[in-house]
Amino acid sequence: MTTHQLTEAQKKQWEEDGYLVIPSFFDKQETKEMLDEAKRLCDEFDVDGHPMTTFKTAADGEHVGDEYFLESGDKIRYFLEPTSLSPATPDTPSRLLVPPSQSINKIGHALAILNPVFRKHTLESDKIRSVAKSLGAQESPRVLQSMIICKQPRIGGVVPCHNDSTFLYTDPPSAIGAWVALEECTPENGCLSFLPGSHKLSRTATRFVRAPGGGTTFIDVPGVEPNEEKWDDMDGWREAPCSPGTLVLIHGSVMHRSPPNPSDKTRIIYTFHMIEGGKGVKYDEKNWLQPTEAMPFPVLF
Ligand SMILES: O=C(O)CCC(=O)C(=O)O
């Protein structure tokens, strides 16, 4: 059994910055296994019958929210890069401008449960279990929203500045992201950037929910004063370039983002999230992602 304990210095870093980069968390063989599987899933993508759902994310604009997306929490589904499609006209539906395997923005959202390779390196991983325990932030994490993000060469889009608790809201907020580089992630191909310490300042004042009439929307969290900070423009943003096998732990309140990928290199990563399942923390029924009776959010420990 391979386990992973954080050092006191790493825990301090997590407290101070709201994220923690752990190089070589997964070894070469484990990383290759996940990358090969991610590529295999991309290669087997069949666009016939796909509703051409693109993944758009913007806290102040249009966000993905069709049925294909809303019902993907317990499935493995494909979401396209918006610029991989020609615009639809009244006479012509959208069509792919690139080969199907290169059109994918993300694949999700139940990989950690349904896919044997990602299950092995998440729910069945003693390393993941022990690192989450050793972080000491959650009493009994539940795993949710597991996905591959491709950030395709040349067309891979921006992930705007956000915190994860907006999207996976609990009362009180408890989300933590686990993000795994499967390839080299650099400023050139769209590595993550963080505003260190922003988790101590940011308040989750809006949240992403299922809209009562269908689709998704953002609503205010009652009683939470919105931040006045213009996060994107603040000084102190730090890029987090990393090599394959690196695990990045992301506090649910820390502001982070990633730029487009204009390079000709892929930037494939795997990520899943954890919410507190103990301590009386409540997962909200308005959240876009809902557990089902057949597939509750699995317990990590
Ligand atoms: O992989 C990326 O570029 C963004 C991921 C992210 O922001 C997240 O998982 O919260």
pLDDT tens figures, 238-250: 999 999 999 999 9
Atom of ligand 1 nearest to the CA of 151: 3
DSSP annotation of 36 reads H
Strand segments (E) across 139-297:
141-149, 159-162, 170-171, 176-181, 192-194, 206-210, 216-220, 238-240, 247-251, 256-258, 269-276, 282-283
> What is the 39 CA–ligand 1 centroid distance (Å)?
19
**Res 26: pLDDT:** 98
Q: What is the pLDDT of residues 218-236, one digit of tens each?
A: 999 999 999 999 999 999 9
DSSP annotation of 293 reads S
Atom of ligand 1 nearest to the CA of 192: 3
Q: Tell the CATH topology of 8-85+95-279.
A: Jelly Rolls (2.60.120)
Per DSSP bridges, beta strands 282-283 and 76-80 are: unpaired
**Res 62: pLDDT:** 66
> What is the 258 CA–ligand 1 centroid distance (Å)?
7
Ligand 1 contact via 34 beta carbon (within 6 Å):
no
- Which pair of tokens denotes residue 74? 């317990």
The answer for residues whose C-beta is within 8 angstroms of residue 235's C-beta and 6 or more apart is none
> What is the 81 CA–ligand 1 centroid distance (Å)?
14
- CA-closest candidate to residue 251, choices 171, 166, 175: 175
The answer for residues whose C-beta is within 8 angstroms of residue 259's C-beta and 6 or more apart is 158, 187, 190, 193
| Protein residue whose Cα sits closest to atom 3 of ligand 1 | 258
| Whether residue 75 has pLDDT greater than 90 | yes
Atom of ligand 1 nearest to the CA of 250: 10
